[in-house]
Structure 1
Amino acid sequence: MSALKQASWQADALLLLVTVVAASGWIFSKEALAGMPPLLFIGTRFLLAGLLLLPFAWPALQRLPPRRVRRGVLVGFLFSAAIAFWILGLSYSDHLGESAFINSLGILLVPVVARLLFGDRPPRSTWVALPVALFGFALLSLNAGFRIEASQLLMVCAALCFALLINVNTRVVRNVPALPLTTLQLISVGSILTCLSLVVEHQPLALSPSIVGWFMASVLLASSLRFFLQIKAQGMTTPSHAAVILMLEAVWTALFAAWWFGETMTLLQLLGCSLIFTALLINRWYWVRKVMLRWLPSAQR
């Protein structure tokens, strides 16, 4: 096996592991929220995760020009908005699987945001996928009785912010290496949301040993380890290829929520989530096909 082909398989394996760890983070976070206010939880989680990555990123950070460091920190403000919507949506959500699929709409919205704000021309597949995704979201709304629940609306806001964040990252801080950029943004998000929590949240802490355990799992596994592995894997493949595999996070989350919380889906929820996932596949079909051909060499014959 050539070194290039081996690196490709290693990247795929790491990215699959990242999706499993990220999906586990939904479970860790939901459990930890039983004893911590949402913004305080996510703020301290990201702050500690960023500090854990700091020793690995410090040599590269020292070589960065100050203007690039400032840009990385400023983009962290947008990341703060995205993750704040996500954690608030998670705190209101009674169905993690559904929330994960709604949040995954951010991948589909990346080219739409690029078109609206930067004039980029999305591929034709985006315009085919968009109505499929919207119909899927409509089915999820119908499941709540012809209304959009607070958790659904917050997850849509998070998806929009994540789509904007990806666009800004590729333009504003494209020359900043991934590890120092991630570290800067984690520390920025952690600092901002922890301070915001101290101002607006008044929910008392209930730090039992189990809550502390879920919190530390969120910090060490779902944040530090997840981002470290994701950065390593993305450095071994293309962003579009990585995005195809990372779409599996929503699927793993639904499966883990069914196993851990005993969640089940109604027919409308199942159809809605399936349509959203189908839209993601349509939007990334060129790269989905390349991944399938890599995983199934016989399909090329």
Structure 2
Amino acid sequence: MSDAHKSDLFLVMVTLLAAVSWIFSKEAVLLMPPLLFMALRFLIAGSFLALFAWRPLTRLNGDQLKRGVGVGLVFGVAMSFWVMGLFHGTSLGEGAFITSLGVVIVPVIARAVFKEIQPASTWFAIPVAIAGLALLSLRNGFQPEPGQIFFAMAATVFALYFTLNTRAANQRTVINRQGKTVEKIRIPALPLTAIALLTVGLVTLTESFIAEPWRPTFGAPPPLLIWWVLASAIVGTAGRFFVQTYAQSLSTHSHGAVILVLEPVWVTLFAAGWFGENMTPMQLAGCGLIFAALIVNRWSALSKALKTALRKRKTG
């Protein structure tokens, strides 16, 4: 199996872990301030990964550390918007689909900001994905409310984060202002993830310290809250983002981000089972369009695999 195919499979796993994390996070923000929850979640997750990444972390140079923190700062802004959307939002499924708009924005940002060439299949997949997202999240008309606005802002910043994370996880050469070729050494997946998560934790901790009351949470925390925070930190954050960063390190192209449109599909299904949210026929149609977008995006790889299988069957 090629690295590109491995990357795609790992990204599918990421969507499942992400969907589970939505459930954990929604339960937690019902019991504590949202930004404080994010701070605890990411500091625990980042510290957990840092224990395993201690030696690689000590080998990073100044440029690698700077780029890792930069990725974390952008990620921190995105997660701040996301958790406020989760706190104010009324529909978990709708929020997931609005947030996933960031996935289809990734190729646009990669092209506009970093001049990264995208395969034609990506551009064909984007309108299909947008149509699917529209059927899923805009079935009652887009009537902006605080939760929807926060999710939309998070989607835009997530697109920039995904692109920066991909570039940080892959070695590349750039031309600086003096016209010299400079090699940017890749940051290994584990230390990069640890740095980014710890940075998110510090960003949201600062925001929470300024804007939220802490005493009710630490005075008498509900026992169940501790389990939600730990599950979200270890499974939904440390596990999910390490797998995502590792997957991105296997492929230099950002078009794999289209796979992440699977996340809202899983979130909607899990929310239906956990919170009793209903799926309408229009939502099911939206899911079908999203899967169609995935097929369009990966049509080149799929067609090659089918041709190889048919050739082997004929020669066998």
Answer whether TM exceeds 0.5 for this pair. yes
Deviation at 1:74, TM superposition (A): 2.2
Q: Deviations over 1:88-142 (max 9, x none)?
A: 2222233222322332222221111122223334333343333334444444564
Amino acid at match of 1:249: E
- 1:285 aligned to 267, 282, 299, which one? 299
Asked whether the 8 Å contact 2:42–2:197 carries over to 1, the reply is yes
- Gaps in structure 1 of 5+ consecutive residues: none
**Percent of pairs with identical residues:** 48
Asked whether the 8 Å contact 1:39–1:87 carries over to 2, the reply is yes
After TM superposition, list the pairs within 5 Å mapping 1:121-160 onto structure 2: 121-140=117-136, 142-160=138-156
Amino acid at match of 1:107: V
Q: Say yes or no: does 1:90 pair with 2:104.
A: no
Deviation at 1:182, TM superposition (A): 0.7
Asked whether the 8 Å contact 1:46–1:186 carries over to 2, the reply is yes
After TM superposition, list the pairs within 5 Å mapping 1:1-301 onto structure 2: 16-140=12-136, 142-171=138-167, 174=170, 175-202=186-213, 204-205=216-217, 207-231=221-245, 237-238=250-251, 243=257, 246-287=260-301, 293=306, 297=309
Q: Deviations over 1:59-101 (max 9, x none)?
A: 1111111222122112211111111122122222332223223
Amino acid at match of 1:183: A
Aligned residues: 294
Q: How far apart, in 1, do the equivalents of 2:227 and 2:126 lie?
A: 40
Asked whether the 8 Å contact 1:38–1:87 carries over to 2, the reply is yes
Deviation at 1:148, TM superposition (A): 3.4
Q: How far apart, in 1, do the equivalents of 2:197 and 2:311 lie?
A: 41
Q: How far apart, in 2, do the equivalents of 1:11 and 1:167 lie?
A: 15
Deviation at 1:233, TM superposition (A): 5.6
Deviation at 1:14, TM superposition (A): 5.6
C-alpha change, 1:233 and 1:283, in structure 2 (3 Å) is closer
Q: How far apart, in 1, do the equivalents of 2:25 and 2:279 lie?
A: 21
Asked whether the 8 Å contact 2:167–2:252 carries over to 1, the reply is no
Amino acid at match of 2:18: A
Amino acid at match of 1:193: T
Q: How far apart, in 2, do the equivalents of 1:32 and 1:275 lie?
A: 32
CA RMSD, Structure 1 to Structure 2 (Å) = 3.3
Amino acid at match of 1:266: T
TM-score, length basis structure 2: 0.78
C-alpha change, 1:279 and 1:26, in structure 2 (3 Å) is same
Amino acid at match of 1:178: A
TM-score, length basis structure 1: 0.82
Q: Deviations over 1:133-162 (max 9, x none)?
A: 444444456433452343333222222211
Local SS of the residue matching 1:143: coil
Deviation at 1:167, TM superposition (A): 2.0
C-alpha change, 1:293 and 1:148, in structure 2 (3 Å) is farther
C-alpha change, 1:176 and 1:269, in structure 2 (3 Å) is same
Asked whether the 8 Å contact 1:101–1:277 carries over to 2, the reply is no
Asked whether the 8 Å contact 1:105–1:276 carries over to 2, the reply is no
- Gaps in structure 2 of 5+ consecutive residues: 171-185
